[in-house]
Structure 1
Amino acid sequence: MSVVTANGERWLVAKTGFRTRATKDLPLQIGSFGFRNGAYFCKPAILGGVREFIDDQGEVQTFLFANWIELH
């Protein structure tokens, strides 16, 4: 996962398998400026994207209402 800026907005981009998805809806505990790019243990969401991941501190972060879009 990595954080990128596009058109002045910060997005979290997650590549899972053969698909790449992005969201602006970060967990409340993690701001986009405090997020470190890298590989994380993730639980996929049913409709795509990531439902949960383990952060650098070993805490589980949850995307309860994240809207993921597929990137082409």
Structure 2
Amino acid sequence: MVLLSAQDSDNNINKISHAFFDRYPTLNSIVTSNIQELSSYLSTVTNYQNKTKWIHEIALSIQNETLIPLNMKDLLNL
């Protein structure tokens, strides 16, 4: 959610997060989705086109929850 909240209000992100995580409860559900579908859940977020693309690219690069980096350096590299 940090990626989404950049240049947007927490209030706005909180409004969309429930529906987004209901639809995409796992990293794999994001990986198997596409940018157009993801965009429909994020369209009210500031700069949603870029953020949607970044979320999808990050999910594709990680592929599996067990491979999510646990240190700041690797997280920032995503």
Short-chain TM bin? under 0.3
TM-score (norm 1): 0.27
More helix by share: 2
TM-score (norm 2): 0.26
Higher Cα radius of gyration: 2
